[in-house]
């Protein structure tokens, strides 16, 4: 009897040791979001919650961010292995820091179109880009739409705009109060924030950049070249697991929001579900994404964007599109088939 108990105990200890060894083998990955734990964060929180990263032998921790620029610099510094950032911000970093030893690279396109737009209240009389001439626009200095506004203005012959800077929480408030005539921001962020301040969606004029001649890509998954060099298999595994989770998010946004709520219990579930659906409909499952394929980029379009960003951001050096993009780690075509059929 004693011998049987001893054998069982020894077997249990061996099993525990083996499980510990398996867990120890999981590669730790620090992931930096571009923004707070809002609806679109589900794209990365759901694969964590469903264990897709663990199944891929990755121990992924996801942290909230405060803008794409911050995400790029944190991955560049080595504080984070992988991040989510606006491709224009990544391009700017490359061009302004040509000698930086650790320039992150984009490995998967998630927002095939920039989410940036100009928004105004209908009562202002602003209906088209031409109506912005001579007007007062507001946005934080690091806002992607504000940074790329020279591209929007060139495409639509806009001049004489005055900019007012503010912290992100004040942007929509200042528009509603009439302190500015229009704002730039991500549509799925600012439109819902304007509504939250008592303005109906029907009373807001939205001019999405992609609808007005601006063909910029939006947010991509970016990776430290150190991780690419030292553990390319982990990069590949991350993208496969993330893509699997994103397919779940796209097919059932309402369920995915619960994974966001698990990380931030004070979110407004209804609001963040709408925000996630808006992001999916406008920049993830967009006509361009369906034409080019989820996760991928079009070479000539990427080159055009590099040239436009170089000009608009007045970078120190010209942007080399081949230096900012590496599509060799993308999952298979079947695995990338995450967009619902139209």
Alpha helices in 51-205 (DSSP H): 52-55, 68-77, 87-96, 144-147, 149-156, 171-177, 187-196
Instruction: CATH number of the domain at 133, please.
Output: 3.40.190.10
Of 165, 192, 212, the last residue of a domain is 212
CA 157 to chain centre: 29
pLDDT higher than threshold 80 for residue 18: no
Kindly state the percentage of the chain with pLDDT values over 90.
91
Mean pLDDT of 311-322: 96
14: pLDDT confidence band, cut at 50, 70 and 90? low
Pairing of strands 136-138, 162-164: parallel
Per-residue pLDDT averaged across 76-84, rounded? 98
Do both 202 and 226 map to the same domain?
Answer: no
Question: What is the average pLDDT score of the chain?
Answer: 94
pLDDT digit string, tens, across residues 114-131: 999 999 999 999 999 999
pLDDT of residue 21: 47
Q: In this structure, are 68 and 88 located in the same domain?
A: yes
The count of structural domains within the chain is: 2
Instruction: Answer with the one of 186, 212, 238 that is the final residue of a domain.
Output: 212
Residue 139's pLDDT band (boundaries 50, 70, 90)?
Answer: very high
The boundaries of the domain holding residue 229 are 7-113+217-329
Are 274 and 200 contained in the same domain? Answer: no
The residue-averaged pLDDT of 198-217 equals 96
Which residue bears the tokens 């030893």?
Answer: 101
Spatial separation of the C-alpha atoms in residues 249 and 260, rounded to whole Å: 11
- What does DSSP say about strands 27-32 and 82-86: parallel, antiparallel, or unpaired? parallel
41 pLDDT band, cuts 50/70/90, is: very high
Tell me what pLDDT residue 25 has.
85
Express each pLDDT in 231-272 by its tens digit: 999 999 999 999 999 999 999 999 999 999 999 999 999 999
H or E element at residue 105: strand 105-109
What pLDDT does residue 341 have? 77
């Amino acid at each position: 009897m004693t011998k049987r108990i001893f054998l069982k105990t020894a077997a249990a200890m061996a099993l525990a040791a083996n499980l510990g060894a398996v867990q120890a083998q999981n590669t730790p990955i620090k992931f930096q979001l571009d923004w707070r734990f809002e609806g679109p964060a589900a794209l990365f929180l759901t694969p964590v919650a469903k264990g897709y990263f663990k199944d891929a032998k990755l121990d992924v921790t996801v942290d909230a961010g405060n803008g794409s620029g911050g995400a790029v610099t944190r991955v560049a510094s080595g504080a984070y292995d992988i991040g989510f950032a606006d491709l224009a911000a990544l391009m700017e970093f490359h061009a302004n820091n040509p000698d930086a030893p650790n320039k992150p690279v984009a490995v998967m396109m998630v927002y095939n179109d920039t989410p940036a737009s100009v928004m105004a209240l209908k009562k202002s009389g602003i209906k088209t880009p031409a109506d912005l001439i001579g007007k007062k626009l507001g946005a934080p200095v690091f806002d992607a739409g504000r940074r790329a506004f020279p591209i929007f203005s060139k495409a639509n012959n806009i001049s004489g705009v005055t900019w007012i800077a503010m912290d992100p929480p004040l942007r929509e408030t200042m528009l509603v109060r009439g302190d500015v005539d229009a704002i730039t921001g991500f549509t799925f962020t600012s439109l819902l924030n304007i509504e939250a301040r008592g303005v109906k969606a029907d009373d807001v004029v939205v001019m999405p950049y992609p609808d007005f001649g601006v063909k910029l890509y939006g947010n991509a998954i970016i990776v430290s070249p150190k991780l690419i060099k030292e553990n390319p298999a982990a990069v590949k595994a991350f993208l496969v697991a993330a893509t699997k989770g994103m397919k779940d998010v796209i097919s059932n946004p309402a369920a995915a929001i619960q994974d966001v709520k698990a990380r931030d219990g004070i979110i407004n579930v209804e609001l963040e579900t709408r925000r996630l659906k808006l992001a999916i409909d406008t920049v993830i499952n967009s006509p361009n994404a369906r034409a080019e394929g989820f996760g991928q980029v079009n070479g000539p379009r990427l080159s055009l964007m590099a040239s436009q960003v170089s000009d608009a951001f007045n970078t120190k050096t010209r942007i080399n599109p081949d230096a900012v993009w590496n599509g060799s780690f993308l999952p298979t075509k079947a695995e990338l088939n995450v967009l619902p059929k139209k």
